[in-house]
Structure 1
Amino acid sequence: SAVLRHARKQDETTWELKENWCWEGAASRWTIPLQFLVSLENKPGHRTFQEILQQLTAMERSYLNNSSGSWLLEDPVCPTSLSSTTFLIVAYSTMLAVGLVGNTCLVLVITRQKEMRNVTNIFIVNLSCSDILVCLVCLPVTIIYTLMDRWILGEALCKVTPFVQCMSVTVSIFSMVLIALERHQLIIHPTGWKPVVRHSYLAVAVIWIIACFISLPFLSFNILTNSPFHNLSLPFNPFSDHFICIEQWPSEGNRLTYTTTLLLCQYCLPLALILVCYFRIFLRLSRRKDIVERARGGRQKKAKGSKRVNAMLASIVAAFALCWLPLNVFNTVFDWNHEAIPVCQHDAIFSACHLTAMASTCVNPMPLLGAARELREFPIVYCQYGHY
């Protein structure tokens, strides 16, 4: 990855080198293909790059005493740490177990109790199902890829894994939008139109269709290739049968347009809409505070129960926003100015951001279950007192 500091990106597949990167020695002159350097940028870990440097060094070591050969590469090789790799594997494995068990239990609790099948709870189940999908598909692949220096999972998973992650994030945020809109309608317009269970099932179907459509480019532009390894000009190439999974877009402009649109549709705009909904709910509840406090004991208990529901649902949105913020910032900076990220800190920063984003699958189940139970006990409280 240090070599990329000597290059300027022209488009998705073309790089202009500011200086040559090759080995000049008494034994031979080797040039590492440019495609391989490009491929390094698409993979979080660079252990293959380390191995190549180590192999070249070892093969020429016996000739160094009798030659004037030297590396033209001035940047230091970024070391990899066994302890950091172990930490990532343990962390991802823990998230997989906690997220899978927690979200599965939440889905079972709601689906097995008929009285809990209301509009909001259906959206909650949909949110948990998207988290389960991440736990089943994305996290295991991440664990395996962390252990390996290449892609060993085949072309299907090369395309499906980013597709599923993108789809899951879209389903999650859109489910939160629908929950916020439903609560907003119930509290701000208690005597107006209210969605019923049938409407919620239709909305869930529409969400998944939209999410699939938004994620389609990953199926089209993620490819499995071994050309960077196959084209290495080495006397002995142990990497010729290695494959990597990378994105290959028609142009850099297309990629930037898609990733920027994705940021707006998956994060910025939905969260802005949710913020407006819950802010208006907060203002309305604040105005009713005195009336609720003067209400009878039973009514006051119901009002507090519904207030807890809104607080729990809002906390889920806040957790999602905080978990995904670092990765969105990282991707935006990397897309528009990758040189701003220190070369040797790239892997650590990316891993920390991705790990934080995946943590959202673990933090959802408990508050969602609490909200679902409150909704079972106090399903229509603001329909009763909405005229105040």
Structure 2
Amino acid sequence: MSNDSGLFSIKEASDWTDTSQCLPSVGGATFLIVAYSAVIAIALIGNAGLVFIIARQQELRNVTNILIANLSCSDILMSMVCLPVTIIYTLMDRWVLGEALCKVTPFVQCTSVTVSVFSLVLIALERHQLILHPTGWSPAARHSYLAVGLTWLVACVISLPFLSFNILTNDPFQNISLPASPFRDHLICMELWPSDEHRLAYTTSLLLFQYLLPLLLVLLCYLRIFLRLRRRRDMLERSRRPQGAQRINAMLLAIVVAFALCWLPLNVFNTLFDWHHQALPDCQHDTVFSACHLSAMASTCINPIVYGFLNSNFQRELKLTLQRCQCGNRAAESYESFPLSTVGSEGATKTTSLNRMGSVCAPSPRPEISSAKTMPANTS
């Protein structure tokens, strides 16, 4: 799933002579630069804002939000490292970034994708436990921090082969029999495995354990949640709280479905490349890869858009944060009491005031405002 076949690939010497005539057009290169730049900007700003607000507000640090923040951190890492490298290598068609980045970039991408998938799985399992077994064990915030650490550790271990088998070389250009070949001094970043069997075994394992099986488990969890809530339709009609649970579950499921759809084209491309790369036309190879890779990288924008900007709690916290920034240099005349709501893993809605977080632009205190719809974890 994380193997950028179009970037870190093994080509025959004849392939390079053929693709040397398939240079990207000015319009195509401009589109790639604009598209990747937009993805990078949205991913960095959106995910950084989401992490900042969750970290700043104590009330938002429940299990689900901590895992959402972890998902955003993995997207930030990919946006900072993988996306700029990808656009540079795609446009130049040779590696100019040094051996360290040649090894680190695919390692970071594999790690980031693995963390993202595992975070989605943990979120689904937590929702499943709280809704189907509300009186049983409920994970606490400290458990989520432990899960986050283990997720990154496992992801790094899974990604280690990229550090070992990615090399910087100009060997494919040495066999090109052209007078005064312009490619002789070019370097490429490619995977060099002990055998094709090792490479296929690893990439197929990634497809199964980093994409297909985790997403299947997530969809199964949300299916059971949906069936449980549907069986209690009469109770749902008499209570607003379960309706809020349905809304937040639908939102979390939307993140999973969008993530799966974004990564599907690149997984299909990589599978086809690994098992039958001759089926990909030479001149269309980079174009098809760029489209598939851009779709996958768009997944880094899903979290802040779906979770953040469609979530009333996040919108309220964002507005309050912007107000505090605007008023940060002004003397505080008074404090405004504004209770914040969140979904506690224990099923309780917590409230607090802004008195301890700083002043806001208000000439006088206003009456306490009721909180927005909460998202209860316990919907049984």
The interval holding the TM-score normalised by the smaller chain is: 0.7 to 0.9
Larger Rg: 1
- Percent identity of the aligned residues? 64
RMSD, matched Cα: 2.3
Q: Which amino acid aligns with 2:277?
A: H
Q: Superposed, which structure 2 residues align to 1:309-388 within 5 Å?
A: 309-369=248-308, 370=310, 373=313, 376-379=341-344, 380=347, 386=380
| Aligned residue in 1 for 2:31 | 87
Q: Report the secondary structure of 1:165's partner residue.
A: helix
Q: Superposed, which structure 2 residues align to 1:1-388 within 5 Å?
A: 36-37=13-14, 40=16, 49-50=20-21, 78=22, 80-295=24-239, 300=240, 302-369=241-308, 370=310, 373=313, 376-379=341-344, 380=347, 386=380
Return the alpha-carbon distance in structure 2 between the equivalents of residues 307 and 234 of structure 1.
65
Q: Retained in 2: the 8 A contact 1:116–1:373?
A: no
| TM-score using structure 1 length | 0.77
Return the alpha-carbon distance in structure 2 between the equivalents of residues 345 and 239 of structure 1.
20
Return the alpha-carbon distance in structure 2 between the equivalents of residues 149 and 180 of structure 1.
40
Q: Retained in 2: the 8 A contact 1:323–1:360?
A: yes
Q: For residues 108 and 199 of structure 1, do their structure 2 counterparts lie closer, same or farther at Cα, with a shift above 3 Å needed?
A: same
Note the alpha carbon deviations across 1:182-236, whole angstroms, 9 max, x for none.
0000000000011111110110011001101111111111000123334544442
Q: Report the secondary structure of 2:125's partner residue.
A: helix
Q: Which amino acid aligns with 1:179?
A: I
Note the alpha carbon deviations across 1:58-100, whole angstroms, 9 max, x for none.
xxxxxxxxxxxxxxxxxxxx46322112111111111011111
Offset at 1:118?
0.5
Return the alpha-carbon distance in structure 2 between the equivalents of residues 340 and 237 of structure 1.
27
Offset at 1:109?
0.8
- The total of aligned residue pairs comes to 317
Unaligned stretches of 5+ residues in structure 2: 1-8, 315-339, 349-375
Q: Retained in 1: the 8 A contact 2:215–2:260?
A: yes
Return the alpha-carbon distance in structure 2 between the equivalents of residues 358 and 287 of structure 1.
38
Note the alpha carbon deviations across 1:151-172, whole angstroms, 9 max, x for none.
0000000011111111111000
Return the alpha-carbon distance in structure 1 between the equivalents of residues 63 and 303 of structure 2.
18
Note the alpha carbon deviations across 1:130-153, whole angstroms, 9 max, x for none.
000011000110121133131000
Note the alpha carbon deviations across 1:225-256, whole angstroms, 9 max, x for none.
12333454444244333211111111000010
| TM-score using structure 2 length | 0.78
Q: Retained in 1: the 8 A contact 2:131–2:379?
A: no
Q: For residues 318 and 346 of structure 1, do their structure 2 counterparts lie closer, same or farther at Cα, with a shift above 3 Å needed?
A: same
